[in-house]
Chain A
């Protein structure tokens, strides 16, 4: 192919997920000619999450998003933790009202096949050119190593652009290829999350979850007797006429214990506190995805000459707060803005693209990632937070609210005993201190 036949864009985005379409939207809006490459038949088809989407991030990219009718499920009007015990108990720590009554809501339940498709459509409306069914396999590099395009699996599938934004998702093989990180994913740092989408009539969901209508929804993180006492966390989200129920377990744990994920999930669905909620639900979809929970220490370098990385590919996940989609959107936006600045300067060098990381350092993403840098190890080394404490909480509240005809002094002794029987007090105090350290980043 001679040089004048080369297919050229001002920018290429690899992956039409949350980060990629945000980047494409920002760049196309600024007048750049953007190729948005997606390996699935449609954007969203490869993506799987809990989950809920935070509107603060969407709003930053698309201030009038509500007028564009996003395919949200229910708003999150009730959120919190459920603690399951092995004897069938359930303790809920939920919050509602207050900030959760905001309109539009701070977060909405969503399904990625529909949400990501809509999100990519917004990029297309700004003028980005979506190229689906195309897998990027490598980069085209200039003599000085700078990225100047991508190679795809299409015949003659070379596309050129002075800047490429890599939003390839958790399996960041292209990021590795560029040398932005020196190793492949580490099982100790990945959670394998898997769920079922179950169909139930809207009224049934409302009744079972105590919701007045489909404009109210529950998002719960489920702890305790769901992952066999091993590090893991469950979730349950109410959509309009479906519920998403699943859990995440560290990949290393699944491998070492040779657990079959679908058995662990089925066990969770059969828990006496969960079974009545999912009963009669027709299975619409089973699936799963890795979540990069390595945090700050597992993040790749975010830029090099002619390229930037955003979203899961850059390990932008805050495992404790279940954040990731918002980081992906914001990072995609900042990368897109940086590409626009680079075009204005006509300079796509590493020095110019360093602006991307500088901007992220000023926002919440890199600050949070750094603060929580010790947290991913914390749960590995303190599995009692997944097991011992949730069942203690169930016992304690169970005792507190039961009239056994015993003096209260004895009741509190029993509650105290049910903690210290599981975990000596000095260790429990130590746990709280180390949790504080992990969260506050000491």
Chain B
């Protein structure tokens, strides 16, 4: 995949796209146990201006738990509380614009089954 401004998206055929069901992600999130760090976020957008000029904003889609959403002010909002620490956004952001750290010890996702 190309990085930065050269990043391009690919499209599924309309036929295939139509087979994807709509899912209310909160129904899934309630099944995950977290110890939320109320004091600090382990995820941070480095520069909102970069997000502003990112045409395709893939982070709004590929995150497993929909951490990244577009606010009404046009800025990317980060619901770090829902993060399962998979690391995809760190390496998937075409502009490497996400500061990604592990949560402080004891915080974050705590899978009950795995």
Contacts and interface: CB of A to CB of B under 8 A. Distances in A.
Interface of A: 39-42, 44-49, 111-116, 132-135, 152-154, 170-171, 173, 184-188, 190, 192, 194, 196-197, 228-229, 242, 251-252, 254-264, 266-267, 270, 283-290
Contact of A285 (B60, B90, B108, B113): B113
Interface string B78-114: 0000001111101110000000001111101111111
A255 B58 contact: yes
15 contacts: A46-B109, A112-B111, A113-B111, A132-B106, A133-B106, A171-B85, A194-B64, A255-B58, A258-B56, A261-B62, A263-B22, A283-B28, A284-B31, A287-B114, A289-B84
B105 A134 contact: yes
Nearest to B11: A257
A39 B66 CA distance: 23
B9 A154 contact: no
B71 interface: no
Given A132-B106, A135-B105, A289 B86 contact: yes
B32 A287 contact: yes
A185 B109 contact: no
Contact of B113 (A111, A153, A154, A185): A111
Given A263-B21, A270-B21, A258 B58 contact: yes
B1 A285 contact: no
Given A187-B1, A187-B92, A264-B20, A152 B105 contact: yes
The 6 A-B pairs of least Cβ separation, nearest first, read: A112-B114, A133-B106, A258-B61, A286-B28, A171-B87, A134-B105
A251 B114 contact: no
Given A285-B31, A290-B86, A45 B110 contact: yes
A42 B106 CA distance: 8
Interface in B1-17: 1, 8-12, 16
B113 A187 contact: no
Contact of B87 (A170, A257, A266): A170
Given A135-B105, A267-B21, A116 B114 contact: yes
A266 B21 contact: yes
Contacts of B16: 228-229
A352 B64 CA distance: 42
B19 interface: yes
B51 to A, nearest CB: 15
Interface string B27-57: 1110110010000000000000000000010
A251 B92 contact: yes
A255 B112 contact: no
B111 A286 contact: no
A256 B1 contact: yes
A16 to B, nearest CB: 12
Nearest to B92: A255
Contacts of A270: 21
Given A184-B91, A267-B19, A44 B114 contact: yes
A266 B62 contact: no
A296 B103 CA distance: 30
Contacts of B19: 228, 267
A113 B64 CA distance: 19
Q: From B22, B25, B29, B88, name the one whose CB has the most chain A CB atoms within 10 angstroms.
A: B88
A283 B23 CA distance: 14
